[in-house]
């Protein structure tokens, strides 16, 4: 009988950004538990020592700040040198910036988009050549309910997640024929540091306080009492990546399911309400072709 390869040479290879805390860490632990191999990244790899200790032959900690393109390329190169392939990429690194648009500085906004959008894009583009060569792979984009609807105080964060969702939906169509899948994960409130150390606030402007202060108070009060269980979320993500046809979108938690359904139903109702204003704006047989008239006039 042929000998079986060592355990550290079997199982899928996961590359997860932002594994120091939150859903990234919960997912890393579950990946290790199912016996897969893991490249865990964080800006400070000392925060990952406990993950490595769980399975030293299957877990490799790599320093990575996703806003530094050279660091992204280096981290992917280290992953390929260590394990030879990447089967699942999880773009999890990110943070929340809260405040009214007028309260946010240029630096605030650019840093938010550099991390949540361009960081995810840079890692994705660095991994895609390997997945194309493999003709297989799954890219998990950690979005949010905020990628479906914006909330008071979370406008910039929602902007990054809306952008990530559009980019990921387009990417999914581009790579489907190559055997590569994309899963956009849309968590509701989970019991992580998202509303604690992972959030940054803009300096307030007094005129916005009546609208934003209650939302800020509610957001902070949720910390430590969120209904979502990170371990269960991690298991759901792993299950989705194992499907023959993974879902394009994966809402997580009852809160996310309910709010997203309500928002989509509202959007349909809005389309029905405004249809008679928007539909008649096409060219018709009686008005002729505007482009043709412009050509005649020139």
Domains belonging to the chain, first-starting first, are: 7-252 (3.40.50.720), 260-298 (no CATH)
Mean of the pLDDT values across residues 22-44? 96
- pLDDT tens-digit map of 152-199: 899 999 999 999 999 999 999 999 999 999 999 999 877 766 655 667
Least confident range of 30-39, 55-64, 109-118, 201-210: 201-210
Burial of 180 (0-12, 13-18, 19+ CB in 10 A): buried
CA atoms of 274 and 280, how far apart (whole Å): 11
- Give catalytic residue positions: 143, 157, 161
Q: How many Cβ atoms are within 10 Å of 214's Cβ, its own excluded?
A: 12
Mean of the pLDDT values across residues 59-73? 97
Q: What is the pTM of this model?
A: 0.89
Q: In this model, does residue 151 exceed pLDDT 50?
A: yes
What does the mean pLDDT of the chain come to? 91
CA atoms of 146 and 153, how far apart (whole Å): 11
Q: In this model, does residue 286 exceed pLDDT 80?
A: no
Q: How far is CA 113 from CA 20, 117, 147, 232, in A?
A: 20, 5, 13, 28
Alpha helices in the chain (DSSP H): 22-33, 49-54, 69-83, 106-113, 119-134, 155-175, 209-221, 230-242, 254-278, 290-297
CA atoms of 17 and 28, how far apart (whole Å): 10
Mean of the pLDDT values across residues 217-229? 76
- pLDDT tens-digit map of 114-139: 999 999 999 999 999 999 999 999 99
At 2 the pLDDT is 46
Backbone φ, ψ for residue 105 (5° rounding): -80, 165
DSSP 3-state percent helix, strand, coil across the chain (nearest 5): 55, 15, 30
């Amino acid at each position: 009988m042929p000998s079986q390869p060592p355990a550290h040479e079997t199982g899928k290879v996961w590359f997860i950004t932002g594994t120091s805390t939150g859903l990234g860490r919960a997912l890393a632990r579950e990946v290790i538990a199912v016996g897969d191999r893991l490249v865990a990244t964080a800006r400070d790899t000392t925060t990952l020592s406990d993950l490595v200790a769980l399975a030293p032959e299957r877990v490799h900690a790599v320093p990575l700040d996703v806003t530094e393109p050279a660091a992204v390329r280096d981290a992917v190169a280290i992953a390929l040198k260590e394990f030879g392939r990447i089967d699942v990429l999880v773009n999890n690194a990110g943070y929340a910036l809260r405040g009214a648009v007028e309260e946010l500085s240029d630096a605030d906004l650019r840093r938010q988009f550099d991390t949540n959008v361009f960081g995810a894009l840079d890692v994705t583009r660095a991994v895609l050549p390997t997945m194309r060569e493999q003709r297989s792979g799954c890219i998990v984009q950690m979005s949010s309910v905020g990628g479906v609807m914006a909330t008071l105080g979370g406008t910039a964060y929602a902007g990054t997640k809306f952008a990530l969702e559009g980019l990921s939906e387009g990417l999914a169509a581009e790579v489907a024929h190559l055997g590569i899948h994309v899963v956009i994960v849309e968590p509701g409130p989970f019991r992580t540091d998202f509303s604690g150390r992972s959030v940054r606030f803009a300096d307030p402007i007094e005129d916005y306080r009546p609208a934003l202060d209650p939302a800020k108070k509610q957001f902070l009060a949720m910390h430590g009492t969120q209904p979502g269980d990170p371990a269960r979320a991690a298991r759901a993500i792993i299950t989705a990546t194992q499907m023959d046809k993974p879902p394009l979108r994966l809402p997580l938690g009852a809160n996310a399911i309910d709010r997203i359904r309500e928002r989509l139903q509202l959007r349909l109702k809005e389309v029905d309400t405004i249809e008679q204003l928007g539909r008649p704006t096409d060219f018709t047989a009686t008005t002729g072709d505007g482009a043709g008239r412009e050509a005649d006039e020139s």
